[in-house]
Amino acid sequence: MLKNLVYNIVLLLMCFGCNQNNSKTASESEKANDLIHETSPYLLQHAYNPVDWKAWNQETLQQAKDQNKLIVVSVGYSACHWCHVMEEESFENDSIAKLMNRNFINIKVDREERPDVDQLYMSAVQLMTGSGGWPLNCITLPDGRPVFGGTYFTKTQWQKILEDMSALYTENPAKMISYAEQLTEGIKKSDLITVADKDIACNKASFKTAITKIETLLDYEFGGQKGEPKFPMPTFLNLLLRYSYQTNNQQLQNYVMTTLTKMSNGGIYDHVGGGFSRYSVDEKWHIPHFEKMLYDNAQLISLYSKAYQISSSPNFKTVVAETINFIDNELTDAKGGFYAALDADSANTNNELEEGAYYIWQEEELRAILKSDFELFSKYYNINTTGKWEDDKYVLYKTISDDNFIKKNTLNSSEFNIKLKDWKKKLSAARKQRTLPRKDDKVLTSWNAIMLKGLLDAYRAFGTIDYLEKAKRNAKFIVELQMNSEGKLFHNYKNGVSSVDGFAEDYAHTISAFIDLYQITSNEEWLRLANTLMQYSLDHLGNDDNKMFYFTSQKESDLITRKTEVYDNVIASSNSVFAESLFKLGHYYGNKAYSDRAKQMLKNVNEDMLKTPSAYTNWLNLYLNYANAYYEVAISGKEATKLLNQLNKYYIPNILISASKSESNLPLLKNKYIIDETLVYVCVNGTCKLPVNSIEKAMSQISK
């Protein structure tokens, strides 16, 4: 039905065509619009567009109703290259702006600041077109119900859409209203989760079937998933790392290690300054789309740290250290928060914005910087036809391991490592003379919580105290600036102001991070805070009918419907993270209601999860907790911290840890304290094996 409606409305659009060629005076063009009062870097980028942009708020939405005008909802983010292109081609064009201002209420949305609005209209565009992306452009009725949408449009396409939609609403509003009603109903049903009554037998056979489906997607030669572009997809890789380790599946483990190696060798990784770009446009991870996002780098820090625990790869250790250093240098707020992103575009030598200008190199430039070392450097980083991008531009790209390179070139290992550090130092100094890409310096709670977990995983793997201190400082930032006494979180922080009520992603990832922080520090305050946030989430985001969580609070009144996020994508879905934390908190507090809800959530998605497992990879991570033995480890006694630090060095994905140097009332620790002794209790579902006095002995009681 929806496809037919889309076809009909496209036919109607084709029938309404006319050309407008209006212009504004220079003084009008230079006048700022309402976005000048916003803090989002993305919105501020559009503050001097001739389009009369407004922010998403109740006043703007009411204005559309009062004036009976269609709404343009244009969604993007500061590091989005094609968002900048459409701005330059259309939103900075006076004739297009005049057309938009006369016939529409125009709303600019930062998708990172308002992921709820983005989700809603992305669902609409996906229903209408079968795909989505950014920039996301929707035209809606005055009440916000969508009637047309797409992603990037050329100036000519956009002008025709504006003219035709305006004419259609004037001449046949009933047709548009009818379409909007059915499209809105489709949006509401698109993520409808029903309660699954049938219990699920979480077993290894069912899981193996899901993994077999996932294996058909894998590129065993270059890593990642088949085809291009290639995204790192940390949640996807994290599942395969865990599964391959627990089942001794060497082929899958080699696949994950190959992926991580190829990524860190490729141009998607910044060999000079550390950190990963958003994705690679080719299958070899060579040429990136150059924006750097906090959430990608945070999750990759976690993933490389876990892979190091298994492999002891010095390359993985270097990647983690350099990526954390990049975040220290470019994405860290003075108060301990982490900024959102660096743009793909930066000023070139002509002072014009160009994609990748900050990161690319020319041969002549490299020869001048490296002098006699250039020939060796060019072999290592492929300053040749292999590493060439376009024109005389190169993106540093490794195709051989350090050990093999050293052997092939008859080098001394220690001398080569000194050279490599010197090369990076010289290139870093040269690059600092360039204009740094634009920075999105808003601080998002959800992404900060993911980075907090990344630092904790790095501390587990390497024992670097500085990583733990950074994590604790960030946790303090969240508690003191983004959380109130009732357990309410804010989503955004900018210029000393916390704003935008938190979404499910903020609560879910912060709860998960605080549970991890407790497991590493044994400070029960973090577990208490996690539980407080969970209670708040249940009260304000929980859906008591199906036991899932809405993305927005019940206080939200600006949206035409409340969405429920269940698909694991680049970031794990808020509901899968909630379910995992309910599972853990249920164990910690002996809370059956938590445990039952976690299992019900998994049951609700089980059928779809086993059909299309690649969209439910974090849910499958939870499934493994039920399909295999899941260990509760309690460490009690005066040497608890010492033994806890020893235990945390191991990669053990199927474990929950409690530790205390004194008596504790936590169910996992209660009545386990004995004066002058430190004992380790390994338990499964509350049934404990004989206590032991060393981590080595405890590990013998724990199987993969």
pLDDT interval class at 188 (50, 70, 90): confident
- CA 189 to chain centroid, in Å, comes to 25
Q: What per-residue confidence (pLDDT) applies to 81?
A: 84
> Which ranges constitute the DSSP H helices of 271-393?
294-311, 314-330, 363-370, 374-381
For residue 336, the number of C-alpha atoms closer than 13 Å in the C-beta half-sphere is 20
Domains defined for the chain, CATH in brackets: 2-190 (3.40.30.10), 204-345+440-627 (1.50.10.10), 359-433 (no CATH), 631-700 (no CATH)
**pLDDT over threshold 80, residue 22:** no
Residue 704, pLDDT score: 64
Between CA 75 and CA 118 the distance in angstroms is 7
For residues 259-280, average pLDDT: 97
Residue range 634-658: mean pLDDT, rounded: 95
pLDDT tens string 58-79 = 999 999 999 999 999 999 998 8
Question: 554-597, pLDDT tens digit by residue?
Answer: 877 788 889 999 999 999 999 999 999 999 999 999 999 999 99
Q: What's the pLDDT at 28?
A: 41
- For residue 471, give the nearest of 340, 306, 301 by alpha carbon: 301
Give yes or no for a cis peptide into 667 (omega within 30° of 0): no
- Interval 123-180: pLDDT, tens: 999 988 888 889 999 999 999 999 999 999 999 999 999 999 999 999 999 999 999 9
More confident position, 1 or 362: 362
CB distance 281 to 406 below 8 Å: no
| pLDDT at 550 (0 to 100) | 95
Q: Is the pTM of this model over 0.85?
A: yes
Provide the mean pLDDT of the chain. Answer: 92
* Helices and strands: H and E segment counts in the chain: 27, 21
Closest CA to 148 of 12, 20, 9, 55: 9
Question: What share of the chain in percent tops pLDDT 70?
Answer: 96
d(CA 648, CA 516): 11
At residue 13 the predicted structure's pLDDT band, cuts being 50, 70 and 90, is very low
State yes or no: pLDDT of 429 exceeds 50: yes
pLDDT, tens digit (0-9, with 9 covering 90-100), for 303-355: 999 999 999 999 999 999 999 999 999 999 999 999 999 998 889 989 988 98
Assess whether pLDDT exceeds 90 at residue 16: no
Question: Looking at residues 382-390, what average pLDDT do you find?
Answer: 93
CA angle 533, 537, 539 (to 5 degrees): 120
Among candidates 651, 656, 659, which has minimal Cα distance to 678?
659
Cβ pair 392, 363 in contact under 8 A: yes
Q: What is the pLDDT of residues 530-560, one digit of tens each?
A: 999 999 999 999 999 999 999 999 877 788 8
Which segment, 181-190, 256-265, 481-490, 546-555, is predicted with the most confidence on average?
256-265
The residue with greater pLDDT, 165 or 9, is 165
597-616 confidence digits (pLDDT tens): 999 999 999 999 999 999 99
**pLDDT at residue 324, rounded to an integer:** 98
Phi-psi region of 91 (alpha: psi -120 to 50; beta: other; left: phi over 0): alpha
- For the record, the structure tokens of 322 come out as 């350099």
For residue 5, pLDDT over 70 is answered with: no
Range from 40-49, 194-203, 280-289, 493-502 carrying the lowest mean pLDDT: 194-203
- What is the Cα–Cα distance from 508 to 576, expressed in whole angstroms? 9
Residue 685, pLDDT > 90, answer: no
Burial label, 430 (beta-carbon count in 10 A; 0-12, 13-18, 19+): middle
Check whether 26 has a pLDDT greater than 50: no
Say whether pLDDT at 24 is over 70.
no
Residue 29 has pLDDT above 70, yes or no: no
CA distances 521 to 317, 459, 691, Å, are 22, 11, 22
Residue pair 122/77 in contact by the 8 Å Cβ criterion: no
Residues β-bridged to residue 71:
105, 140
Least confident of 182-191, 282-291, 502-511: 182-191
